[in-house]
Amino acid sequence: MREYSIATIPADGIGPEVIAAGRTVLAHLEKQLGDVKFTVENFDWGSDYYKKHGVMMPSDGLEQLKKFDAIYFGAVGAPDVPDHITLWGLRLPICQGFDQYANVRPTKILPGITSPLRKCGAGDLDWVIVRENSEGEYSGHGGRAHRGLPEEVGTEVAIFTRVGVSRIMRYAFRLAQSRPRKLLTVVTKSNAQRHGMVMWDEIAAEVAEEFPEVTWDKMLVDAMTVRMTLKPQSLDTIVATNLHADILSDLAGALAGSLGVAPTANIDPERRFPSMFEPIHGSAFDITGKGIANPVAAFWTAAQMLDHLGEQEASARLMRAVARVTGAGILTPDVGGSATTREVTEAVCDAIHSSN
List residues binding Mg ion (CB under 5 A).
246
Residue 229 beta carbon to ligand NAI: minimum distance, rounded to whole angstroms: 19
Shorter beta-carbon distance to ligand NAI: residue 11 or 176: 11
Q: Does 283 bind ligand NAI (CB under 6 A)?
A: yes
Residue of the chain from 91, 108, 244, 308 that contacts ligand NAI (CB under 6 A)? 91
Residue of the chain from 232, 260, 269, 274 that contacts ligand NAI (CB under 6 A)? 260
Q: Does 334 bind ligand NAI (CB under 6 A)?
A: yes
Report the partner that residue 246 touches, choosing among ligand NAI, Mg ion, none (CB closer than 5 to 8 A by kind).
Answer: Mg ion
Residue 142 beta carbon to Mg ion: minimum distance, rounded to whole angstroms: 19
Per DSSP, 78 falls in state B
* Residue 263 Cα to chain centre, angstroms: 5
Q: Does 294 bind ligand NAI (CB under 6 A)?
A: yes
Looking at residue 336, its amino acid is G
Q: Does 83 bind ligand NAI (CB under 6 A)?
A: yes
Report the partner that residue 284 touches, choosing among ligand NAI, Mg ion, none (CB closer than 5 to 8 A by kind).
Answer: ligand NAI
Instruction: Evaluate whether 182 touches 215 at the Cβ level (below 8 Å).
Output: yes
Dist CA 230 CA 350 (whole Å): 38
Query: Taking contact as CB under 6 A, which single stretch among the options 101-109, 125-133, 177-185, 281-289 is the one that binds ligand NAI?
Result: 281-289
Shorter beta-carbon distance to ligand NAI: residue 196 or 337: 337
Q: Which of residues 21-40 bind ligand NAI (CB under 6 A)?
A: none
Q: Give 266: exposed, middle or buried? Use CB within 10 Å, 0-12, 13-18, 19+.
A: buried
Instruction: Evaluate whether 176 touches 236 at the Cβ level (below 8 Å).
Output: yes
Total binding residues toward ligand NAI, as defined by CB under 6 A: 21
Report the partner that residue 294 touches, choosing among ligand NAI, Mg ion, none (CB closer than 5 to 8 A by kind).
Answer: ligand NAI
Dist CA 21 CA 349 (whole Å): 10
Residue 246 beta carbon to Mg ion: minimum distance, rounded to whole angstroms: 4
Shorter beta-carbon distance to ligand NAI: residue 88 or 273: 88
Cα distances from 199 to residues 156, 160, 314, in angstroms, run 19, 8, 40
Instruction: Evaluate whether 344 touches 291 at the Cβ level (below 8 Å).
Output: no
State whether residue 71 is helix, strand or coil. strand
Q: Does 75 bind ligand NAI (CB under 6 A)?
A: yes
Shorter beta-carbon distance to Mg ion: residue 32 or 264: 264
Instruction: Evaluate whether 111 touches 134 at the Cβ level (below 8 Å).
Output: no
Shorter beta-carbon distance to ligand NAI: residue 14 or 305: 14
Residue of the chain from 131, 244, 281, 324 that contacts ligand NAI (CB under 6 A)? 281
Q: Does 259 bind ligand NAI (CB under 6 A)?
A: yes
Dist CA 91 CA 348 (whole Å): 28
CA dihedral 84, 89, 91, 94 (to 10 degrees): 140
Backbone angles phi, psi at 277, to 5 degrees: -120, 135
Residue of the chain from 10, 77, 253, 337 that contacts ligand NAI (CB under 6 A)? 77
Q: Which of residues 117-146 bind ligand NAI (CB under 6 A)?
A: none
Instruction: Evaluate whether 298 touches 89 at the Cβ level (below 8 Å).
Output: no
State whether residue 154 is helix, strand or coil. strand
Residue of the chain from 76, 169, 224, 351 that contacts ligand NAI (CB under 6 A)? 76
Per DSSP, 54 falls in state S
